[in-house]
């Protein structure tokens, strides 16, 4: 009996010790578990960048219940503040098993560094709010567009631009070239991967990004006619049926609206940096028309900010294109519906994209080149991470009389003359192609078929542009001063 009892006591002890070892090893394992680090982090703004930050981080099913909260604190503070799970917006990443977790923090201090992380055992990063004024500060941002034909090209320009330590990046559309297509979701993964690998500094500063919408953010019915499309349609009706059945027509900028908190739907909006700078994101005939409600909104928000030192419209399709026809319908729309408001309310620089080249215009007023400080300089044309294009479809001025103005033939000639310019579209026969240069085109002052980013320095009395190619060469400079 005694022996048995002893045995039983011993056995209990053995199980107890084994249980303890299990508990200890589990705790130990948890303690050394790799810190959580989300597959993607994306910072942007929906309200004043001097006092707010919108933080997105993406989670996958493999993350389980990790990464559900956001903790942040001013660098130097002891205690973390926590935004709990129920206060985090969880948005389904379209056509993916990923989740977008989104938090907007307001009421932050201007010009201040904040550390943030996604729970107790998580890698920590930091961001910096923009300064309250430009009195003793400058802001530096990088502008571009047309970001990812290839991830390595996008990353290369990201790295070149990061050498200049920008406070944020402004991209004017055509981001991942997913075209709103479910089967191209990988392009978005790659786009966010490039950001995570190259737009976060070594010590963990995450660079916020402001996006505008471009044509490649949308699902367009015409894409279904293209050879090689997995759902290639023979007729327009067939294409529309496919879109309807897959809910693609009604919500045709699906990725853009879910992946980015700003500008939202409709895809235009304004970000006011206190009272010294406003960035106006516009939609150049993609989801919303240039004319109509958007133009009315633009007139109103510019009137409210008239005379503000730094007003920067940013949009995808150029009003003054470097590579394509300046008499193209979209360009005319912008010059007629927006440019008069830009000019009336003191815009000095407007940012464009879409043409896959670098361009800078002289100061323009309508279609006229004007004196410094009297017009608007248009900077584009979107070649951050894409194949570049040359100016090959402009007609040499001496050949104007060889053409007839024939809009009705429909297949060959469209030549237009205005203010000493000769322009043409792509449908002209190949022997009329002419590789043009900046000298031939009064509305261009700088041009390069190069991948690049534009570094923009803003101070209280003006600003300066420095254009840097993906391989780190400075190819253009421009500065302006405020009266
Ligand atoms: Fe484009």
CB neighbours of residue 331 within 10 Å? 21
Omega of the bond prior to 381 within 30 degrees of 0, cis?
A: yes
123 and 250 in a common domain: yes
Distance of alpha carbon 379 from alpha carbon 359, whole angstroms: 6
> What is the distance in A from the centroid of ligand 1 to the CA of 355?
7
pLDDT beyond 50 at 265:
yes
Question: Residue 32: its pLDDT value, please?
Answer: 65
**Lowest-confidence pick of 39-53, 211-225, 330-344, 464-478:** 211-225
330 and 423 in a common domain: no
Contact assessment for residue 315 and residue 275, using Cβ atoms and an 8 Å cutoff: no
58, part of any domain? yes
> What is the distance in A from the centroid of ligand 1 to the CA of 316?
7
With the C-alpha atoms ordered 147, 150, 151, 152, is the resulting torsion angle positive or negative? negative
Residues in the chain: 483
> What is the distance in A from the centroid of ligand 1 to the CA of 14?
71
pLDDT in tens, 21-68: 554 444 444 556 899 999 999 999 999 999 999 999 999 999 999 999
Phi, psi torsion values for 56, nearest 5 degrees: -110, 140
Kindly list the distances between the CA atom of residue 306 and the CA atoms of 139, 228, 270, 274, 463, in Å, as whole numbers in the listed order: 21, 49, 14, 15, 18
113 and 66 in a common domain: yes
418 and 341 in a common domain: no
403 and 347 in a common domain: no
> What is the distance in A from the centroid of ligand 1 to the CA of 246?
24
405 and 329 in a common domain: no
Report the CATH number that the domain containing residue 46 is assigned in CATH. Answer: 3.60.21.10
**Residue 444 CB burial class (10 angstroms; 0-12, 13-18, ≥19):** buried
> What is the distance in A from the centroid of ligand 1 to the CA of 173?
7
| The two structure tokens encoding residue 313 | 């419209």
174 and 155 in a common domain: yes
Contact assessment for residue 51 and residue 109, using Cβ atoms and an 8 Å cutoff: yes
pLDDT beyond 80 at 240:
no
344 and 421 in a common domain: no
> What is the distance in A from the centroid of ligand 1 to the CA of 389?
12
Averaged over 302-324, what is the pLDDT?
Answer: 94
Confidence of residue 128 (pLDDT cuts 50, 70, 90): very high
323 and 429 in a common domain: no
The residue ranking higher by pLDDT, 400 or 122, is 122
468 and 335 in a common domain: yes
> What is the distance in A from the centroid of ligand 1 to the CA of 322?
13
> What is the distance in A from the centroid of ligand 1 to the CA of 330?
12
| The two structure tokens encoding residue 174 | 């055509």
Kindly list the distances between the CA atom of residue 223 and the CA atoms of 39, 207, 233, 243, 246, in Å, as whole numbers in the listed order: 30, 33, 9, 11, 15
424 and 472 in a common domain: no
350 and 325 in a common domain: yes
Kindly list the distances between the CA atom of residue 154 and the CA atoms of 6, 206, 323, in Å, as whole numbers in the listed order: 72, 17, 21
Q: What is the pTM of this model?
A: 0.85
> What is the distance in A from the centroid of ligand 1 to the CA of 335?
18
pLDDT in tens, 140-179: 999 999 999 999 999 999 999 999 999 999 999 999 999 8
User: What is the span of the domain harbouring residue 427?
Assistant: 397-434
> What is the distance in A from the centroid of ligand 1 to the CA of 174?
5
> What is the distance in A from the centroid of ligand 1 to the CA of 103?
30
How many structural domains does the chain have? Answer: 2
380, part of any domain? yes
């Amino acid at each position: 009996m005694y022996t048995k009892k002893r045995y039983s006591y011993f056995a209990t002890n053995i199980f107890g010790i084994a249980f303890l070892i299990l508990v200890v090893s589990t705790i130990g394992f948890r303690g050394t578990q790799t810190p959580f680090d989300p597959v993607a982090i994306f910072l942007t703004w929906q309200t004043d960048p001097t006092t707010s930050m919108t933080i997105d981080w993406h989670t996958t099913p493999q993350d389980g219940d990790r990464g559900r909260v956001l903790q942040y604190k001013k660098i130097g503070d002891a205690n973390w503040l926590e935004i709990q799970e129920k206060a985090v917006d969880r948005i389904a990443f379209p056509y993916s098993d990923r989740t977008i977790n989104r938090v907007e923090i307001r009421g932050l201090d201007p010009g201040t560094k904040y550390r943030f992380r996604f729970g107790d055992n998580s890698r920590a990063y930091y961001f910096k709010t923009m300064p309250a004024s430009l009195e003793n500060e400058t802001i530096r941002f990088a502008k571009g567009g047309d970001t990812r034909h290839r991830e390595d090209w996008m990353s290369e320009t990201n790295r070149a631009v990061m050498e200049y330590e920008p406070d944020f990046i402004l991209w004017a559309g055509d981001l991942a070239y997913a075209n709103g297509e479910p089967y191209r979701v990988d392009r978005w993964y790659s786009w966010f991967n490039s950001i995570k690998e190259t737009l976060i500094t070594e010590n963990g500063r995450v660079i916020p990004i402001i996006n505008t919408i471009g044509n490649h953010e949308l699902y367009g019915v015409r894409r279904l006619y293209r050879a090689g499309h997995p759902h290639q349609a023979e007729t327009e009706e067939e294409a529309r049926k496919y879109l309807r059945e897959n809910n693609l027509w009604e919500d045709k900028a699906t990725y853009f609206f879910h992946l980015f908190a700003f500008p939202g739907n409709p895809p235009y909006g304004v970000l006011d940096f206190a009272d010294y700078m406003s960035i106006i994101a516009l939609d150049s005939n993609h989801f919303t028309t240039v004319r109509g409600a958007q133009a009315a909104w633009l007139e109103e928000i510019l009137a409210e900010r008239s005379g503000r030192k730094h007003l920067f419209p940013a949009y995808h399709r150029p009003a003054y294109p470097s590579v394509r026809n300046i008499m193209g319908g979209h360009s005319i729309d912008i010059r007629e519906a927006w440019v008069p408001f830009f000019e009336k309310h003191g815009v000095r620089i407007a940012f464009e994209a879409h043409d896959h080249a670098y361009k800078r215009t002289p100061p323009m007023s309508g279609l006229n080149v004007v004196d410094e400080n009297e017009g608007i300089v248009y900077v584009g044309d979107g070649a951050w991470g894409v194949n570049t294009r040359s100016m090959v479809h402009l007609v040499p001025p001496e050949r104007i009389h060889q053409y007839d103005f024939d809009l009705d033939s429909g297949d060959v000639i469209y030549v237009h003359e205005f203010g000493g310019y000769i322009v043409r579209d792509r449908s002209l026969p190949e022997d009329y192609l002419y590789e043009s240069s900046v000298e031939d085109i009064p509305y261009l002052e700088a041009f390069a078929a190069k991948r690049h980013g534009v570094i923009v320095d803003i101070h209280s009395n003006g600003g300066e542009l420095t254009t840097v190619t993906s391989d780190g060469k400075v190819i253009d400079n421009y500065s302006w001063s405020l009266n």
